[in-house]
Chains A and B, each alone.
Chain A
Amino acid sequence: MSSIEERVQKIIVEQLGVKPEDVKSEASFVEDLGADSLDTVELVMALEEEFETEIPDEEAEKISTVQAAVDYIKVHS
């Protein structure tokens, strides 16, 4: 079983079409990884599916970096 970090990284690579080495924990989806607002919504949808959780809109808006995604999943799954 891969770690939460690895699973999150894999989803980000797939959804945003970026290189794994660019998915650093402090990386921002929009500023560093070139995501637009629709991409970030889709990313959240993919995280919800992978971790079988539902992320409310007001929480989803706060998930703007790789670390924030990992932290959210650690607390909520």
Chain B
Amino acid sequence: MSEDKKVALVTGATRGIGRAIAEQLADAGFFVVGSATSEKGAAAIGEYLGERGTGVVMNVADDASVADTLKHINEAHGAPLVLVNNAGITRDNIMLRMKADEWSDVINTNLNSLYRVSKACLKGMTKARWGRVINISSVVGTMGNAGQANYAAAKGGVEGFTRALARELGSRNITVNAVAPGFIQTDMTDALPEAQREALLGEIPLGRLGAPAEVASAVAWLASDGGGYVTGTTVHVNGGMFTG
């Protein structure tokens, strides 16, 4: 049981940015429920969180999976009052070659998931008169990136959703924000070819990739009481490569 700790749900918490967020929210005193798409992933989350949280299997791209998992979380641990919509995928391709499913998979997992998971968590937050929704966007959502029209469209959508929901729920003391990472050292960026990596670093004033923990600390701040007067905004964590 989560006793009197607030429950925080982090989607896509197996590794990378999601894991760093789950760990920092646990450090901040939340009971963290991290989601993964596989049993193995959920077990890994349970292992690194120990008694400070648990892992669950949930496919954010699937209505029934989200409904079932949220029902389980509510019953077993209590309603999540912090929701971090982090789970996401890439299916990069230039538009002229992009398959319909490369488009729709990315929109469904990265954007439609916000409809499913957020809606399922809002009743609990409304009732508690306290809530934090934090959506992980990307610098690509504002800058654009060749080969990522699907991903950029989803992330731009995430930020519009963030602004609208912030206006809807402000009166209930629920804040809604986005955090937009730039290039962060994860499996996703490790896969980049060396030449592309060098070119990329030239675009970043701080001259290095970011660490997952540097994204997670922005999320932890938005979730904290100290972040309580910030809503409807996007926090950019990108080493200066884009300054909006």
Contacts and interface: CB of A to CB of B under 8 A. Distances in A.
A57 B36 CA distance: 29
A41 to B, nearest CB: 7
Contacts of B168: 38
B72 interface: no
Contacts, number: 11
A55 to B, nearest CB: 12
Interface string A38-55: 100110010000000000
Nearest to A39: B171
Contacts of B169: 38
B40 interface: no
B99 interface: no
A45 B172 contact: no
Interface string A8-46: 000000000000000000000000000000100110010
Interface string B86-124: 000000000000000000000000000000000000010
A69 B22 CA distance: 42
Interface string B135-178: 00000000000000000000000000000000011011000000
Nearest to A36: B171
Contacts of B127: 42, 45
B101 to A, nearest CB: 30
Contacts of A38: 126, 168-169, 171-172
Nearest to A48: B123
A45 B171 contact: no
Nearest to A41: B126
A8 B126 CA distance: 20
Nearest to B126: A42
Contacts of B126: 38, 41-42, 45
A8 to B, nearest CB: 19
A70 B31 CA distance: 39
A38 B173 CA distance: 13
A43 to B, nearest CB: 11
Given A38-B168, A38-B169, 9 more contacts: A38-B126, A38-B171, A38-B172, A41-B126, A42-B126, A42-B127, A45-B123, A45-B126, A45-B127
11 contacts: A38-B126, A38-B168, A38-B169, A38-B171, A38-B172, A41-B126, A42-B126, A42-B127, A45-B123, A45-B126, A45-B127
Interface of A: 38, 41-42, 45
10 A-B pairs with least C-beta separation: A45-B123, A42-B126, A45-B127, A38-B171, A38-B172, A38-B168, A45-B126, A38-B126, A41-B126, A42-B127
